[in-house]
Amino acid sequence: MLDIRDLSVVFTDRKEPFTAVEKFNLQMDAGEVVGVVGESGSGKSMTAHALMGIIRNPRAHITGQALFEGVDLLSLSPRQLREYQGDELSIIFQEPMTSLNPTMRVGRQVEEALRIHGRLSPAERKARALETMALAGLPDPEAVWNAWPHELSGGMRQRAMIAAALVLRPQLLIADEPTTALDVTIQMQILETLKDINRKEGVAILFISHDLAVVRALCSRVVVMKEGRIVESGPVDEVFRHPREDYTKLLISSRPTRTKLKGGASRD
């Protein structure tokens, strides 16, 4: 489904060119859940933003290929890429309070992608949006539909963002640090929601995090990044049990001792 080949992002708006991502390679199958982990500044979020075409710096030079169902996303014009954004691949961000428009009711924001892409009648859009809000684990979607973002808890705002990202039923969801701003209990609830969405809807997930324990709780494979480069990758359990790189060992040693998803084995 997704084949990233030698993706690099270089910024030339400083005295010396700065390479934020260097020759990133990854293949993902339909329905797969893959984690990208690393410290702040490791290039993991920049990789996601390059895939989505949302790096706004005109001095950013993006090279390589990102083949989605055989189409190179990096070669598309902004107009062509918009046909894929939300429809085939979508993204959720770390802080929903800054991602949601505070002057617009939540329901309107969830259905916005349907409106932009000219899908369905107003009544059909609302029905699809409410269905997706329920899928994202929002209680009483009708009440949330009419709420303002500031009236929701952090976890509910993040679920609203998940619903907005899924309303067009994309094949690939990029989750960029979606649980970092939440407390541990809410983090696990959001991870449960993403796991359910993957299982029920078959949505592939590229999950970006600085927390390897969170990635292990959700993903089957993991890519470890440091200073813009992949330093290690493989099945999650294999990387956890037999890490090759000192950097990976450091990330593992800083994890919580136990992470458990409902209906699954403890990860320790």
- pLDDT attached to residue 175: 93
Distance CA 183, CA 166 (A): 23
- pLDDT attached to residue 17: 93
Distance CA 145, CA 154 (A): 16
pLDDT in tens, the chain (268 residues): 999 999 999 999 888 999 999 999 999 999 999 999 999 999 999 999 999 999 988 899 999 999 999 999 999 998 898 888 878 899 988 776 677 899 999 999 999 989 888 778 999 999 999 999 999 999 999 999 999 999 999 889 989 999 999 999 999 999 998 887 778 888 888 889 999 999 999 999 999 998 888 898 899 999 999 999 999 999 999 999 999 999 999 888 876 544 455 544 333 3
- pTM, two decimals, is 0.88
Structure tokens at 228: 């813009």
User: Phi, psi (5° rounding) for residue 168?
Assistant: -90, 5
Domains in the chain and their CATH numbers? 28-43+75-88+171-268 (3.40.50.300), 97-169 (no CATH)
Distance CA 18, CA 21 (A): 9
Structure tokens at 195: 């796991």
